Structure 1
Amino acid sequence: MVFKINKMKIKNAITVLGIVLFTTSLMFGQDLVYTPKNPAFGGNYLNYSWLLNSANAQNTYEEPESDLEDLLADFEGDFNQQFLSELRRELLRSSEIFGENGLEVGTFEVGNLVVDIVPGVNGLIVTINDIITGSQTQITVPYD
């Protein structure tokens, strides 16, 4: 049996095979390397603030406010403001501070305020301490 081989087919096959082998030998690649972004998983620590700011910018959750706490805080604030306003009025009417209907010497606790009234050398000393913040205000009302 004699096979007839077409020289052109063999030539084309060898050319295609040569091109395929030549191009595949020139191809090269590199390893895929995963580098995490999050510093909690081994990423760069400099990404922390960027990730946190991105998360905060996307966070739309707001905690529901408690109406009872707001009402109590408002009441306490209003009460303290009213007390301080009354004390200021009494201090501005300095002629009425001293005498029978004047300010009484002693310590008074009103809400989160402690008011201490003591006679001093130059006049009546009124000290107002805020228990929560620790702030203190001292007013000296001179004698007439």
Structure 2
Amino acid sequence: MKRFFTLALLVSLAAWAQPTRAQKFVYQPINPAFGGNTFNYTWLQASATAQNRIQAPTNATSATTDPLAQFSANLNQQVLSQLTSRLITSQFGQGAIKPGTYNVGAYQVQVSQSTGGVVITVTDTGTGNQTTITIPNGL
């Protein structure tokens, strides 16, 4: 009798069971940098931007720049540019610049002729920093 119930239980379970099914498990990355779909880029960028809580640093100096100081800096830059242009022109033709010392804003520019070419020494009078530029002869 016990065998009958066991056999009946096994037959009913066999009739009730369905065949098992399987699928292939393949990893597909999301990030396009690692082989994911390229259309995910904008979604990932928008998601990262939305989660970013760090504020970009603001340039406080540009907001508080004095227009007169900016004008002075632009004027100094243009004078230095003209001086450079004349030095290059004098070295390669079309005019000449005389050796000497020139004071341009906070800079002292000393021009001298040497055997190797024209030597330009630019000194920042505020900090004492000095830069020497040599333009060789025959370029």
Shorter-chain TM-score bucket reads 0.3 to 0.5
TM-score, normalised by the number of residues in structure 1: 0.45
